[in-house]
Amino acid sequence: MPAPADGLKDEIAPTGKLRVAIAISPAGGAFWSTRTEAGYAGVPVDLGKAMAAQLGVPVEYVAHQNSGQITDAASTGRWDVTWLPKDPERETRMLFGPIYEVADATYIVKPGSAVTNFATLDRPGTKVAAVNATTTMRGAIAHLKHAEVTGYQTYDEIFGLLRSGEIDAFALSRDQLNKMAQKIPGTRVLDETFKKTVTAVAVPLGHNRALAFVTTFMTDATSNGTLRRAYDDNGLKDSPIRTE
């Protein structure tokens, strides 16, 4: 493709690098990234690298603990582009391009729990954890009328609390919870779904030229195999790309 106009680079990479905001966790999937000996790995990592190459600038990854922190930094000028779950609250704080992932959100219950469905989960005294300030946490709060939902900063912290039985359940996407269940014997992922989590590319508010570029990039990435390769190279060969 022709090199992007300088005006676009001034908006999307004002420091001379494409600063990609990522969230770090061993959860994997299409949103989370992980630390490696060489730096970082994940679907957003690969997409950011490909986008920077198309722009003709270096890539720089700006790591956060969760998507809520990325959202809070949207107005600070610390990052230029990100890929994260979208909801109405976040649409007031950044501009979103095409959706590239749709996930079913549910709960995993602690080892030995008698909970088998949403009705037996949603009771007074039940402690449900979620990653703080995320779309899943907001969805769980809206869904559960009696159980108590508490936000924690990291996936790792919640993993430890669930394994030790200090919390009753954890709200997250089904694919990630199924992987967690394999690591914590005795846990159960509930069959029901309380919300669909959609993940998309995003840029800070006011960056309309950047939004047009990332929209075209993601549309092309979906059709030319770039997105599929990012999935395949990050342990998601069996995961379909869901855009709606």
Evaluate whether 34 touches 42 at the Cβ level (below 8 Å).
yes
Question: In which element (H, E) is residue 226 found?
Answer: helix 226-232
Task: Tell me what pLDDT residue 1 has.
Answer: 46
Beta-carbon contacts of 161 under 8 Å, excluding residues fewer than 6 positions away, are 129, 152, 167
* pLDDT for res 3: 47
Task: Kindly give the parts of the chain with pLDDT less than 70.
Answer: 1-6
How much is the pLDDT for 28? 81
Helix axes 208-224, 43-55, angle to 10 degrees: 110
Using alpha carbons, select from 105, 111, 164 the residue that is nearest to residue 131: 105
Predicted confidence at residue 6, as pLDDT, reads 63
Please give the pLDDT value at position 7: 86
Could you tell me how many residues make up the chain?
244
Q: What is the pLDDT of residue 195?
A: 96
* Residue 48, pLDDT score: 98
